[in-house]
Chain A
Amino acid sequence: AQSVTQLDSQVPVFEEAPVELRCNYSSSVSVYLFWYVQYPNQGLQLLLKYLSGSTLVKGINGFEAEFNKSQTSFHLRKPSVHISDTAEYFCAVSDSVFGNEKLTFGTGTRLTIIP
């Protein structure tokens, strides 16, 4: 069975400051990791994903994440946040990437940017 733990339910950050949103996972098989963002009253949008290869992955809107197998983590980072980054962020894990993915999500981290 797979599970995802997002350690922080809410993260307030000043505008232009760096941010890290933490994600830990557990899985008994190969994992594929994702970060999705959900803006108010909208569906989920993929930010970035780790499938294989380089452990540092870059996504949209200046976000990046690092896959750490030994620590079973996939933390999301951005060096300088903007007001428009205010949203809910979800970490997710899948054991497949063949078009039949069944994602297991964490409970989310609400990122609030303070002007």
Chain B
Amino acid sequence: ETGVTQSPTHLIKTRGQQVTLRCSSQSGHNTVSWYQQALGQGPQFIFQYYREEENGRGNFPPRFSGLQFPNYSSELNVNALELDDSALYLCASSSQKQRNGELFFGEGSRLTVL
């Protein structure tokens, strides 16, 4: 069983740039959620994708956008990067069939904005 994988693991960008983060969900999982974890904080829900459509969004501006592909993998895009976007971005997958509340997290992509 393949777990959740994220890429890249680390990256550095400058203010105003754009970034794309990628996530492959665990085998058999059709739902992908993205979380932002700032230093010293708990993860915060950004949005969730199910069947290639956004299925709920947290309190994040529109410059945070995403995609889900037919193979259930997903991308998180952030435009016009700000210093406060520096964080660990976590992807989590789940299945609408399992109904046991568990999310499976990847190891994250650490973004530094200079």
Contacts and interface: CB of A to CB of B under 8 A. Distances in A.
B107 A104 contact: no
Interface in A62-115: 90, 92, 94, 97-108
Contacts of B48: 100, 102
A100 B103 contact: no
Nearest to A110: B40
Contact of A41 (B35, B55, B107): B107
Interface of chain B, main secondary structure: loop
Interface of B: 4, 30-31, 33, 35, 40-45, 48, 50, 55-56, 58, 90, 92, 94-103, 105-108
Given A44-B43, A46-B102, 9 more contacts: A6-B42, A44-B105, A98-B99, A99-B96, A99-B98, A100-B94, A103-B35, A108-B40, A108-B42
